[in-house]
Copies of this chain bind each other. A is one copy, B any other.
Amino acid sequence: MIADLIKANRSCRRFDQGHRIKSERLLELVDLARLSASAANLQPLKYILSNGPQTNARIFDCLKWAGYLKSWNGPVEGERPTAYIVVLNDTRICAKVDCDHGIAGQSILLGAREKGLAGCMIAAVNRPKLSNVLHIDACYQILLVLAIGKPKEKAVIGTVDADGNIQYWRDENHIHHVPKRSLEEIVIRCYDG
């Protein structure tokens, strides 16, 4: 059931850094994005993959983690992602993407979750620094970095309280709580006539 997979597919920010991910696995995940929808079928997205410890460390230094957890600077050594998929827009094909990277990111992370992995779509990226680290040509625009690894944290879905606060938070057992708006709040109306 896709519903079970979507519910299980929580953004994850702490990983078992001892768990290496093979290049073949990353290619399988990108293949899911390749076969997903693309506006006007232009398929402008390109990908740079990393599963090597040295490059991973350099990519990690370009990312900002979990803006709402003010006292947390991101995963410590030992709990960092063991792979990254950098999602680029090839501006020679499309000047500006609309939401292709969301479609692709969702396909990739659902595929990762099915294989016992987990990840996080990160848009808070130091783009000039990452371009330099990965020698990214100027024709490519960095859209997202997908951080992937074997999950080492538990996340649970909660509800947004009357105060409307949507900030995720961690409890004393390091469980990550994600408040979601109710269906009633997000569906404005349904026309059945």
Given contacts A102-B100, A186-B34, contact A51 B5 (CB under 8 A): no
Output the residue of A2, A51, A101 with the most chain B CB within 10 A.
A2
Output the residue of A11, A31, A41, A67 with the most chain B CB within 10 A.
A41
The reply to whether B99 and A41 contact each other, CB–CB distance below 8 Å, is: no
Taken together, the copies of this chain in the complex come to 2
The reply to whether B123 and A49 contact each other, CB–CB distance below 8 Å, is: no
The reply to whether A180 and B35 contact each other, CB–CB distance below 8 Å, is: yes
Counting chain A residues whose Cβ lies within 8 A of the other chain, the interface size class is: 35 or more
Check A36 for interface membership: any CB of B closer than 8 A.
Answer: yes
Check A95 for interface membership: any CB of B closer than 8 A.
Answer: no
The reply to whether A99 and B144 contact each other, CB–CB distance below 8 Å, is: yes
The reply to whether A106 and B36 contact each other, CB–CB distance below 8 Å, is: yes
